[in-house]
């Protein structure tokens, strides 16, 4: 009897059960997933996409508020070269509303300064906005009007180090503010789902 007990104990020590192996694999999977999530959370591309999403949301909000308030809303863009320390600054933008006193900052949408690595290329009414030659008059370059009309624009966000990486926010043919790449991705998903 003691001999059979010893054999059973030796069998248990000889290897792992299938359940124990599965538990170890799950733990390794969770740890590796956590590592990949923490690695993917940072980086300039992620920061740029976050900046693009914020800008698109703000622009959409300004467009809607213009109609609701019955007042024009404008986007004031400030290139780094317009600041006192251009090497230390990134692009800056803020939203303004037209009042009897002229354009004033809209407090619900605070000014945003982009990271220095993010560069903007701006097209207004299908022409490049040459901000280097533009006067520093501090007037909005893009406007949304209460009747739903708006300045046609395309703003390309890109990174110095990643030339192939760029994201665009534009006014589409229906007058909506869209994040172009995100909109295209959603269209592709709809087409794929439509095939099922």
pLDDT category of residue 130 using cuts at 50, 70 and 90: confident
The overall pTM is greater than 0.75: no
Does residue 86 sit within a domain? yes
Does residue 108 sit within a domain? yes
The average pLDDT across 116-129 equals 90
Identify the three-state secondary structure at position 169: strand
- pLDDT tens-digit profile of 8-62? 555 545 666 766 665 556 556 555 554 444 344 568 889 999 999 999 999 999 9
Instruction: Give just the sign of the alpha carbon dihedral 175, 145, 121, 133.
Output: positive
Domain of 104?
Answer: 45-194
Q: What are 113's strand-pairing partners?
A: 92
Average model confidence (pLDDT) for the chain?
80
Does residue 24 sit within a domain? no
**What pLDDT is recorded for position 20?**
64
Does residue 76 sit within a domain? yes
Does residue 167 sit within a domain? yes
The 10 Å CB-count burial string (b at 16+, else e) for 125-157 is eeeebebeeeeeeeebbbbbbeeeebebbbbbb
Domain count, the chain: 1
Return the CATH number at 122.
3.55.40.10
Does residue 156 sit within a domain? yes
Compare 21 and 165 and report the one with higher pLDDT: 165
DSSP states along 14-69: H---HHHHHHHHHHHHHHHHHHHHHHHT-SHHHHHHHHHHHHHHHHHHHHHHHHHH
Can you tell me the distance from the alpha carbon of 75 to that of 139, in angstroms, rounded to the nearest whole number? 8
Does residue 155 sit within a domain? yes
The average pLDDT across 71-83 equals 89
Does residue 11 sit within a domain? no
**What pLDDT is recorded for position 189?**
84
Can you tell me the distance from the alpha carbon of 56 to that of 72, in angstroms, rounded to the nearest whole number? 18
């Amino acid at each position: 009897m003691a001999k059979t007990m010893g054999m059973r104990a030796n069998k248990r020590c000889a290897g792992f059960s299938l359940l124990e192996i599965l538990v170890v694999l799950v733990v390794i999977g969770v740890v590796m997933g956590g590592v990949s999530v923490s690695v993917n959370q940072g980086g300039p591309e992620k920061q740029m996409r976050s900046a693009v999403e914020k800008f698109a949301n703000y622009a959409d909000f300004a467009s809607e508020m213009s109609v609701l308030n019955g007042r024009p809303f404008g986007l004031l863009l400030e290139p780094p070269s317009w600041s006192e320390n251009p090497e230390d600054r990134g692009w800056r933008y803020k939203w303004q509303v037209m009042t009897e006193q002229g354009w004033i900052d809209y407090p619900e949408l605070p000014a945003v300064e982009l990271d220095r690595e993010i560069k903007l290329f701006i097209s207004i009414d299908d022409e490049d906005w040459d901000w280097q030659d533009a006067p520093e008059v501090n007037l909005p370059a893009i406007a949304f009007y209460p009747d739903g009309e708006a300045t046609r624009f395309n703003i390309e966000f890109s990174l110095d180090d990643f030339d192939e990486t760029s994201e665009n926010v534009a006014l589409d043919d229906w007058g909506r503010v869209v994040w172009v790449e995100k909109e295209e991705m959603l269209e592709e998903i709809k087409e794929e789902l439509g095939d099922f």
